[in-house]
Amino acid sequence: MLTAPALETVRATLPAVGAAIGDITPIFYRRLFDAHPALERDLFNRANQAQGDQQRALAGAIAAYASLLVAEDGPDPRLMLARIGNKHASLGVTADLYPVVYEHLFAAIVDVLGDIITPDIAAAWTEVYWDMANALIEVEHGLYSEAAVADGDVWRAYVVRERRLESRDTVSFVLATPDGSAFPAWKPGQYISVAVDLPDGAHQIRQYSLTGSGSADSARVTVKAVPAVDAAVPAGEVSNFLFENVFEGDRLQASLPFGELTLPDGDAPLLLISAGIGLTPILGFLQHLHSTGSARRVDVVHADRSPAAHSHRAEMLRIVDEMPAASLLRWYEDPGATTADLVYAGRVDLEQLALESNAEVYLCGPLAFMAAVRAGLIRKGVHADSIHYEVFGPGPELQMLQAAWAIAARRGVPSRRRLNPRGSRAASSPSSSRRSGRRRPRPRRRGKRARGERRSRTRDPSTPPPS
């Protein structure tokens, strides 16, 4: 926790620092990469850097953490670091990186805010940084200890045992240990980092959800090729390299499994909602529930662009059909000629779902999709605490920032105009399944059965993600 003087100083200066994040982050990263070019080449995601996502996320997370520290009615900010800590652990981040980040981040803050940063203000924000950094170091050390490895020792060699095309732009890889030893233990919903050496010499890393395991010495990941959208949104470097260049017998470097969004044991009904490649952690859930003979009620909703774009489509249908209390609904932006039962055109319509009051909901897909679905579920009476999500990329840090500012807005925070040079705050006014037998929920309207597809107990919702 912060000292009392630091707490008041941070509360007073938070609006100024928060408002300057967009100016601070480019300077911070330029300083960091000029001093340590290997970090940009070998650790940080170059695509996220090009789009600015990673830049906003890191400094934004610090401002968000500070907001929660000074919010009297907010949650403990350390409880919100699990996502970041797991991501860091999957990269092998160790404590010696944090002083490097501190040096260049605070130099950038001084560059932007200039004379506003008095010694007292600098000392207060230093407390914020190290409170957050030490909390992350503790989380990461705990994850390494749980995995029974030294801090940062997460990288292992695997052999590609099988490569399979799952849709026109998605491929799965079964990764096996070279000596036949057991694949590291993992929980449904977790991911591994995969590192590749690109043609330009860069060593880039991405995370991929584990979607199943066929044997004790192997596990599967699924990778989607990502085309460039325009000059501002480049093609996926690592995913495209894997899609185009990796085949059976090739070796890959990958991390131990990490990720805090896992499927807990229990008998509460589950509502699993995904869009596009966001189905990968959901598929990991389904594989686990199926293999363990779970009798939980499980309602699955998937959205995609078309049946041809829906990776693992047949596998998902089979698994749901073989489970005793599961259903699947699908929505496609372009369903083509398909007239399968419980397949709809357009975007996910939550009115088609019969929601269980005690259901636990898991979401994964594009941020806009998840935001829209989450808001719709809350309008339908689902408690926010029952909605869990997985975000690919640096989104969680940005969402933490938004949540923190929402708390600050409720309390009332001073504006930058009310900040005096000593960093004290002037007077300011507040700104204003249980399973019910084997019953399956029935949608309000039904699609037609596709020719050549047998009628199944599977509930087939597919939804295309909002653009």
| Active site members | 98, 140
Q: How many CA atoms lie within 13 A of 99 on its CB side?
A: 2
Q: How many CB atoms lie within 10 A of CB 35?
A: 12
Helix-strand-coil split of the chain, %, nearest 5:
40, 20, 40
Please name the amino acid found at residue 88. Answer: H
If you compute the radius of gyration of the chain from its CA atoms, what whole number of angstroms results?
24
User: In the chain, how long is the greatest CA-to-CA distance?
Assistant: 75
Please name the amino acid found at residue 465. Answer: P
CA trace torsion 230, 234, 236, 237 (10° rounding): 150
Please name the amino acid found at residue 127. Answer: E
Tell me the three state secondary structure of residue 34: helix
Q: How far is CA 437 from CA 297, 324, 326, in A?
A: 9, 9, 11
Identify whether the C-beta of residue 209 lies closer than 8 Å to the C-beta of residue 191.
Answer: yes
Partners of 328 in beta bridges: 300
Which residues 6+ apart lie within 8 Å of 406 measured at CB?
none
